[in-house]
């Protein structure tokens, strides 16, 4: 059954009338990894996998919400000490609280929601959930007066303050601002962004999820950050955003080899995002693919955030003739993102599943995605 229909049937069953339907999307990031905290660029887009909710104000100060996918119901008030215990409900409570904290209006409502963004696969189902409710509550109670960037920040603050996840802004930004057939180059220093056309005719974007997550003891993320900060400081810069390879090579003998390679990756990655934007304006998907492979190589060899399984998936992609492939996300497990010509798509998926299974004892999960609209209202306004 279609997602919307499934939600509607459940809504009517529980609450006895029609609500208004909203949706927001998960996201991919084509290129620009580990660049956000270095003041660089990321290049995400919203996808055709969404969280959808039917919602209706209920005239009380209570929120009543049912999650179809988790098959769980929660009821909570809107004051700070009304926080629900179920973690899925805390995303919704957090969004309500963050709107109220910013002086916005939220009153009691009934909601039923469900989605098809795979959870924890690196496609940001949590941002889709936050953005869906943030967008809805802006439309229902605030006359859409809350600026879209603030909607993204409301989602981000929800993760920080109610879900214990110290995330950046990219996921919520992409979920709120996503536009069909477009990726967005977000400047993580100025927070300015620009849409670029992404219509890879004859190609499909495919996520291959290794379903492995290596837990590492020595906080590798913080160590990478510290390396970048040390090099920036040595160069007299706030972040590596303004660093060049020439500047880095000038101080090579003064810094550790490890710091050198970390900074090299960041400097090259910043340039690769710009190169991909250029290539996209020319419709040159071969160059886009080459940059994706170069990013993988950098993440694996210089930044050292890959792992055996992800390198293997990257090798399989290369051998299969995939146009571009790289790790997506922080690394040490999770997905690769692949730009694949349609004529080799079935063979690539089959090979990736078989070979990976032979070596690691389980198949990777495969998700085809289409770049689509972000947060929106599904029910037409009358
Ligand atoms: P992701 O990388 O997909 O964002 P997270 O761990 O950040 O993974 O967020 C996943 C959490 O978001 C889930 O544990 C759940 O609390 C909530 N969530 C996501 N999708 C749904 C859904 N369809 N129904 C209910 N809760 C969901
Ligand atoms: Mg998340």
Q: For the segment 341-380, what is each residue's pLDDT rounded down to a tens digit?
A: 999 999 999 999 999 999 999 999 999 999 999 999 999 9
Instruction: Mark the residues whose beta carbon lies below 5 A from ion ligand 2.
Output: 124, 126
Q: Which residues of the chain have pLDDT under 70?
A: none
Could you give all domains of the chain from N- to C-terminal order, each with its CATH number? 2-197+372-377 (3.30.230.10), 203-368 (3.30.70.890)
How much distance in Å is there from the Cα of 344 to the middle of ligand 1?
A: 32
Q: Do the beta carbons of residue 135 and residue 148 sit within 8 Å?
A: no
**Residue 47 beta carbon below 6 angstroms from any ligand 1 atom:** no
Q: Do the beta carbons of residue 13 and residue 159 sit within 8 Å?
A: no
Q: How high is the pLDDT of residue 216?
A: 81
The string of DSSP codes covering 213-265 is E---TT-HHHHHHHHHHHHHHHTT-SSGGG--HHHHHHTGGGS-HHHHHHHHH
Q: How high is the pLDDT of residue 1?
A: 75
Nearest residue to 292 via CA among 331, 335, 339, 330? 339
Catalytic center residues: 171
Q: How high is the pLDDT of residue 345?
A: 98
Q: How high is the pLDDT of residue 219?
A: 82
Rg of the chain taking only CA atoms, in angstroms: 22
Whole-prediction pTM value?
0.96
Name beta bridge partners: 234.
none
Q: How high is the pLDDT of residue 357?
A: 98
In 10 A of CB 9, how many CB atoms?
14
Longest dimension (CA), the chain: 71
Pocket test residue of 88, 115, 155, 173 for ligand 1, highest count of atoms within 8 A of CB: 88
| Beta-sheet pairing, 63-67 with 109-115 | parallel
Please name which ligand lies nearest the alpha carbon of 47.
1
| Beta-sheet pairing, 44-57 with 193-197 | unpaired
Which residues lie below 8 Å from residue 85, measured CB to CB, with a gap of 6+? none
**Residue 320 beta carbon below 6 angstroms from any ligand 1 atom:** no
Which residues lie below 8 Å from residue 172, measured CB to CB, with a gap of 6+? 127, 130, 131, 151, 152, 153, 154, 155, 156
């Amino acid at each position: 059954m279609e997602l919307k229909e499934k939600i509607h049937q459940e809504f009517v069953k529980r609450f006895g009338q029609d609500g208004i339907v909203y949706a927001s999307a998960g996201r991919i990031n084509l290129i620009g990894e580990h660049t956000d905290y270095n003041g660089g660029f990321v290049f995400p887009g919203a996808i055709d996998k969404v969280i959808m909710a039917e919602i209706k104000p209920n005239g009380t100060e209570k929120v009543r919400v049912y999650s179809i996918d988790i098959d769980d119901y929660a009821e909570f008030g809107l004051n700070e000490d009304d926080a629900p215990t179920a973690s899925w409900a805390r995303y919704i409570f957090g969004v309500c609280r963050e709107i109220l904290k910013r002086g916005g209006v939220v009153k009691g409502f009934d909601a039923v929601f469900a989605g098809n963004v795979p959870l924890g696969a690196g496609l940001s189902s949590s941002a889709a959930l936050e953005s869906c409710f943030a967008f809805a509550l802006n439309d229902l109670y605030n006359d859409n007066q809350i600026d879209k960037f603030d909607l993204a920040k409301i989602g981000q603050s929800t993760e920080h303050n109610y879900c214990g996840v110290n995330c950046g802004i990219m996921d919520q930004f992409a979920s709120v601002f996503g536009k069909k057939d477009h990726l967005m180059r977000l400047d993580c220093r100025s927070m300015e962004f620009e849409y670029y056309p992404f219509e890879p005719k004859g190609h499909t974007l495919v996520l291959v999820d290794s379903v492995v997550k290596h837990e590492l003891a020595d906080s590798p993320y913080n160590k990478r950050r510290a390396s970048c900060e040390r090099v920036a400081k040595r160069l007299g810069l706030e972040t590596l955003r303004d660093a060049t390879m020439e500047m880095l090579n000038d101080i090579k003998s003064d810094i550790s080899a490890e710091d050198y390679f970390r900074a090299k990756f960041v400097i090259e990655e910043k340039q690769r995002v710009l190169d991909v934007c250029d290539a996209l304006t020319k419709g040159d998907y071969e160059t886009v693919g080459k940059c994706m492979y170069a990013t993988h190589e950098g993440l694996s060899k210089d930044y050292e955030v890959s792992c055996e399984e992800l390198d293997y998936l990257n090798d399989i992609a290369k051998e299969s003739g995939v146009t571009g492939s790289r790790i997506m996300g922080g690394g040490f497990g999770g997905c690769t993102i692949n730009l694949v010509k349609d004529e080799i798509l079935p063979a690539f998926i089959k090979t990736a599943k078989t070979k990976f299974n032979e070596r690691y004892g389980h198949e990777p999960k495969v998700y085809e995605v289409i770049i689509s609209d972000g947060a929106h209202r599904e029910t037409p306004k009358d």
